[in-house]
């Protein structure tokens, strides 16, 4: 990591810590069955990933869930999408996402926030960290403040259908008595 990158990350972390100090949101576990509103954050740079997310969101909607998507496109050019998204123009030099769409997503009190990105993405991690969601789930990362439940799916890393299958298995077991 070069010197400029270290400076950017320093200011990112400093801003994030400042925002975390302003919020006092209680995160509690919830099962997928109990969840009525679901937010999905994802890296929309590759259409293959976006298609998999849209397919999963459609599955959740068929189950009667209210689903909101927000994708991040790692590009400065505006790209037309079938879902709400933001890109590099909507972030500061230190990777902090900005704009009305991002702010509304952060403020939405989802029952469940599903993070479907598998590589470091500071803009999406920022949104997840500050989200008012009741419960946040995502891949295993060193940043403990990003998610309430982390799934280490080394097998088939980056495979959305595999990850969502594993996630659903964990969420089915949430809030069930041990004797069942």
Reported as a single tens digit per residue, the pLDDT across 91-107 is: 999 999 999 999 999 99
How far apart (Å, rounded) are the C-alpha atoms in residues 83 and 53?
Answer: 10
Question: What's residue 146's pLDDT?
Answer: 79
Q: Does residue 62 form part of some domain?
A: yes
Domain extent for 62: 3-173
Share the mean pLDDT of the chain. 89
Q: Does residue 179 form part of some domain?
A: no
Strand partners, 113: 39, 136
Question: What's residue 68's pLDDT?
Answer: 98
**CATH number where 147 lies:** 3.40.50
- How many domains is the chain partitioned into structurally? 1
pLDDT tens, position by position, 12-53: 888 888 887 787 777 788 889 999 999 999 999 999 999 999
Compute the 3-state secondary structure of the chain and give helix, strand, coil in percent, each to the nearest 5. Answer: 40, 20, 45
Q: Is the pLDDT of residue 111 over 50?
A: yes
- Predicted model pTM: 0.89
Under 8 Å between Cβ of 20 and 48: no
Question: What's residue 140's pLDDT?
Answer: 84
Q: Does residue 7 form part of some domain?
A: yes
pLDDT tens, position by position, 114-138: 999 988 899 999 999 999 999 999 9
Q: What letters, b where the CB count within 10 A reaches 16 and e where it falls short, cover 116-132? A: bbbeebbbbbbbbbbbe
Q: Which one has a higher pLDDT value, 57 or 179?
A: 57
Q: Does residue 180 form part of some domain?
A: no
Q: Does residue 53 form part of some domain?
A: yes
State which H helix or E strand residue 149 sits in.
strand 149-151
Question: What's residue 180's pLDDT?
Answer: 47
Question: What's residue 177's pLDDT?
Answer: 55
Q: Does residue 178 form part of some domain?
A: no
Classify the C-alpha dihedral 56-62-65-69 as positive or negative. positive
């Amino acid at each position: 990591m070069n010197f400029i990158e270290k400076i950017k990350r320093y200011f990112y972390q400093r801003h994030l810590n400042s925002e975390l100090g302003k919020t006092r949101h209680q995160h509690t576990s919830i099962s997928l069955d109990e969840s009525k509103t679901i937010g999905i954050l994802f890296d929309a740079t590759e259409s293959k990933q976006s298609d998999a997310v849209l397919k999963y969101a459609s599955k959740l909607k068929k189950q009667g869930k209210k689903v909101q998507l927000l994708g991040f496109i790692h590009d400065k050019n505006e790209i037309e999408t079938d879902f709400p998204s933001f890109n590099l123009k909507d972030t500061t030099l230190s990777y902090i996402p900005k704009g009305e769409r991002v702010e509304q997503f952060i403020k939405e009190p989802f029952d469940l926030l599903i993070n479907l990105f598998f590589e470091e993405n500071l803009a999406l991690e920022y949104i997840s960290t500050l989200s008012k969601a009741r419960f946040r789930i995502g891949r295993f990362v060193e940043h403990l403040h990003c998610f309430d439940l982390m799934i280490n799916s080394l097998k088939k890393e980056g495979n959305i259908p595999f990850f969502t299958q594993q996630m659903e298995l964990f969420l089915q077991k949430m809030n069930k008595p041990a004797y069942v």
